[in-house]
Structure 1
């Protein structure tokens, strides 16, 4: 598989790929490239309508694939003309000129980090180059547990394309249908919907499964709210909106951390399920409030611990472990460089830092201390490390 020089198919500068999921982004690329439609129309409407999968199963805010594709296409002013299935292991391209929207299993796609790790539906655009070879365009932008996914264009031989589609693929025909759906609206979440949703995750007997799914849920919820904020913003978001988006991002981080803790047999941090309902109820208030008006729920969604710092030796050990994960000199962290300023810092690296500190110092952090407010800077890490060190027998 090679990366060709095809300037005319480079991702548009205003694709906003970091705000779109793996099914939306390539429909948006198609609509932007061929019809000039802004991808931000996909953030015009914000609502909370989780799918109920029946007794004993967890509800999800992620729509079924076909329904999600159809709704996304409609919002972009596109119409689905047909859908057909490519047979397993085919290297044949769909007939006709122009890019084709395709969905296949990410587990087999060689250009995404999910390859060999995770089964999920993933989209891409499939086209031909002048010599007839397959050209894949994929605008997906995300940091995953398996590495970063970034927009790009790749050329595949017939054999490579066949190997990437051992289970076949779904091909969608699309055409311009009319004006994109772009009426801005934030629909308040109902108390019943929020309570039912949170209760299902709180009471699910398999805690690892519940937190694994909730990690995906909070990531999707946080991303859709950033997309909605981007659609609303004419210049910069009001401070209250920025605070709210930050709180959603921290919730997604905290949920991932809780999942990793349970995976390792550690006590489950309760913070995610305590914060989630407050943020869901705050959505509509924050996005529709007059500019600059703070939302009291969002503003208090997590207050940092301000207990004293720790000894020089402990601080050095914490800095060394964080530096090893982030691949920077420990002296930079000891001199005051913020973890959040370092490229690559995020929920995955945050968890790695926590686990390395526990292993090096033979401690176990209190589940209540594992909130993002304590994990984004060296002072916070030192405070909870000192407390865990004192409380460890």
Structure 2
């Protein structure tokens, strides 16, 4: 597999789109100009449908995605089911949905079965060019936009497991303007996740749900910003959704490790969904900064936490002790945060209350120290004194 440098610097915010939207947006930007892709964010929609394990899902089906692309992006989508990749003539291409487990350029390859999109063009009788603008962090590394040259033998089974559609440029319709659509009750949706008996399955699905909701809200905010509505309250709401998505991942990871489930997650989900309908009407105050830890042993705690954090993130402990925020460290992500929590609990003997496992509580070393519970402090004063002398 050979990487091609053409997409090293994407011209649009790829991190705002899901794995189907992003490649439709890329085609629209190419044919109709910069900013066209953001039209997929004009509609802020909450219309869950039945999903896996009896849970509701906000994930849109491909036909719904294609219909929106035709209405908002000026793309003409012509279904071409059962297309055999080897039948593509040189220069002919299509938009493909396939199982990411078979796709060697994404981190899911050989690890997870999940539907993924990409653009495929036949170069000649032996090779293809794959173009994929997907931008995301995964447990197995980063997915980044790029193009790759592939030989046919690197796509085993692909002709048998794809839905391919041919795209062509249509007339770009009038900008639809921002719209809100809420077709379900947020409390009912949240309750389905709160009351599901299989907690591991519910939290695993909720991780995907909050990821999709956070990205769609971020895309809607980007659309509003292009129309001159970059308001602080919108940014606050988007940040809150991203924080909730991280909290859902941490909760799922914690339950998978046999630890107690954090509380309040689905209540927060319902509150954010209710706030979506009126959040665009003015500024709101930011959160109060967390107080730094003080008192007996505080500096020893800070040094121990900073050393462990630095080991996970590959940075300098002194920078963390000087106030560098964890999200500002290159490579920080929800996956690194989960690893960090595991290391702090396993190596330092720290215990965290499940309800404290929110991204807001892991902004810097002092915030971590504020919520940490040291067993030595609770039951072995001599150990605490020994730690302070370290």
* TM-score normalised by the chain length of structure 2: 0.88
State the distance in 1 between where 2:250 and 2:338 align. 6
- Structure 1: 5+ residue runs without aligned partners? none
Change (3 A) 1:387 1:284: farther
Does structure 1 residue 360 correspond to structure 2 residue 343? Answer: no
Cross-structure match for 1:274: 267
Change (3 A) 1:28 1:389: farther
Cross-structure match for 1:347: 334
- Cα deviations by residue, 1:43-101 (Å, 9 ceiling, x for unpaired): 011021111349x60000001233323333432112222221245xxx61524734311
Aligned match for 1:240, one of 233, 250, 259: 233
After TM superposition, give the deviation of residue 378 of structure 1 in Å: 0.7
Change (3 A) 1:57 1:35: same
Aligned match for 1:250, one of 220, 243, 255: 243
After TM superposition, give the deviation of residue 13 of structure 1 in Å: 4.1
- Cα deviations by residue, 1:139-176 (Å, 9 ceiling, x for unpaired): 11111111110000100112113x26274322102223
Change (3 A) 1:34 1:253: same
- Structure 2: 5+ residue runs without aligned partners? 381-390
Matches within 5 A, 1:81-96: 81-86=78-83, 92-95=86-89
Cross-structure match for 2:31: 34
State the distance in 1 between where 2:121 and 2:159 align. 19
Matches within 5 A, 1:1-393: 1-4=1-4, 7=6, 10=7, 13-36=10-33, 38-53=36-51, 57-86=54-83, 92-95=86-89, 97-129=91-123, 133-161=127-155, 163=156, 165=158, 167-180=160-173, 182-187=175-180, 189=182, 193-234=185-226, 237-287=230-280, 289=281, 292-294=282-284, 306=291, 308-309=293-294, 311-386=298-373, 390-391=377-378
- My pick for the range that moved more, 361-370 or 200-209, is 361-370
After TM superposition, give the deviation of residue 381 of structure 1 in Å: 0.7
State the distance in 1 between where 2:71 and 2:88 align. 23
- Cα deviations by residue, 1:320-357 (Å, 9 ceiling, x for unpaired): 11111111121221122211211111211111111100
- My pick for the range that moved more, 104-113 or 275-284, is 275-284
* TM-score normalised by the chain length of structure 1: 0.88
Q: Is the 8 A contact 2:352 2:373 kept in 1?
A: no
State the distance in 2 between where 1:174 and 1:357 align. 50
Q: CA RMSD in A?
A: 2.5
State the distance in 1 between where 2:231 and 2:374 align. 37
Q: Is the 8 A contact 1:103 1:121 kept in 2?
A: yes
After TM superposition, give the deviation of residue 32 of structure 1 in Å: 1.7
- Deviating beyond 6 angstroms after TM superposition, the runs of 4 or more aligned structure 1 residues are none
